[in-house]
Every structure is written in C-alpha cells, then in structure tokens.
Amino acid sequence: MKKVAVLASGRGSNFQAVIDAIENGEIPARCSGLITDNPRAYAISRAEKAGIPVYVRDYSSYTTKESYEDALCSAMQECGADLFVLAGYMRILGSGIVRKFPGRMINIHPALLPSFSGLHAQRQALEYGVKVAGCTVHFVDEGMDSGPVILQSCVSVLDGDDEDALAERILLEEHKALPRAISLFCQDRLRIVGRKVRIL
C-alpha cells in the first residue's frame, strides 16, 4: 500500500478531504504524515485527531530559505511517502526539493491553469471577468503552478460573486478533485508524457 504525506500551511480542509477519502477506501493508501511550516495551522489538529504524525518545520525559526528547505527535505524523507501532496502549502518549493522527488509531488490550485497562477487566483478570475473558474490538480515542477495537469474541475462564475463566494464553490470541487487525483496516482494510473498526463 502506498504512503501519502500532505504539506499544508493553514486550516487544512483539503487535507481533511484526503483523510476522509483514505478512511472511506476511496484512496488505496495510508497517510504517513502532515508536514507544516506553521506551528499554529489548524491542519495540525486534524492530523492529531486522525492519528497522523505531524512534522512542524516553523519557517520563522530558520535564518535562510536554504536552511528551512534542508529541514523540510529531511522531514519529507523521514515521512517515507510515495507521494507528497501540497494542499494549501503557501511556499514555493526550491528546485532542489522538486528534483529530489520527481513525479512524486502534486499540488491543488484554485484556478484553471495556466490561467491565474500564484496567489489570489479567485480574485484574479473575477477581475478578468471570466465566466468559468475552477481548480487544477497538477504535478509539481520547478515553475510556479506550471507542472503537467492531472485533473481540472469547473464552476460557473455568477454575476453576484465576490472572492469568498467563488472560492467557496471552487473549494467544494477541490475536495473532490484532489482525492481523485491521489487515488489515480496510488493505483499507478498516471503517466507523464511530455506536458501531458495520461490517465490509464
């Protein structure tokens, strides 16, 4: 059975969706750890409740990004996971870490990539005036939100939407798309071919 570790910085609602999907048998794996850069993240409470080991690497306690990433990398290796899931992890990973785990890291982003990468994706979508928004699960590469796309899910943008309302509807889709992508990985059904991900 494959092992999955989650990196999260905040409330961890996507992390909870992963925990639930593992418990329901939708993901054929076990969660080997939560790794967080934020000692006050609510995700920690979710992990403790589910009996999942927690690795806190408090970003503010390191003097350089390099020393933080060394500590993060050692935590990832300690987890021994087959797949690392970035679920609301609010830091861009250095290329050294990305190269160490090629094809073994995925991210969930609240936009239909390649549109609206980076922060405040929902606000970007509203300001641009798109009629459709959504979320993307993708493999992590050395760019920002630029890796090969695994799954995407759409929501309509409504006339009365503000950033919070749109974000909430997208989040419901995230909670379905992320566990589905993890499940496909754990079943060895994903193949990266150039920029494309083939689902077997």
Enumerate the β-bridge partners of residue 6: 34, 85
**Hey, what amino acid is at 196?**
K
pLDDT at 11: 96
d(CA 187, CA 200): 10
Q: pLDDT over 90 for what percent of the chain?
A: 100
Tens digit of each residue's pLDDT (9 = 90 or more) over 89-123: 999 999 999 999 999 999 999 999 999 999 999 99
Confidence of residue 150 (pLDDT cuts 50, 70, 90): very high
* Sign (positive or negative) of CA dihedral 129, 132, 134, 137: negative
Task: Please state the φ and ψ torsions of residue 88, each to the nearest 5 degrees.
Answer: 75, 30
Is 34 strand, coil or helix?
A: strand
Going from the N-terminus, what domains does the chain have, and what CATH number goes with each? Answer: 2-199 (3.40.50.170)
According to the 3-state scheme, what is the secondary structure of 69-115? Answer: HHHHHHHHHHHCCCEEEECCCCCCCCHHHHHHCCCCEEEEECCCCCC
pLDDT at 119: 93
pLDDT at 97: 95
Sheet containing 132-139: which strands, arranged edge to edge? 54-56, 29-36, 2-7, 83-86, 105-109, 132-139, 149-156, 196-199, 190-193
Residues that are catalytic: 109
**pTM here?**
0.96
Tens digit of each residue's pLDDT (9 = 90 or more) over 20-71: 999 999 999 999 999 999 999 999 999 999 999 999 999 999 999 999 999 9
pLDDT at 44: 98
d(CA 141, CA 191): 15
Helices (H), the chain: 13-23, 43-49, 65-79, 95-100, 121-128, 163-186
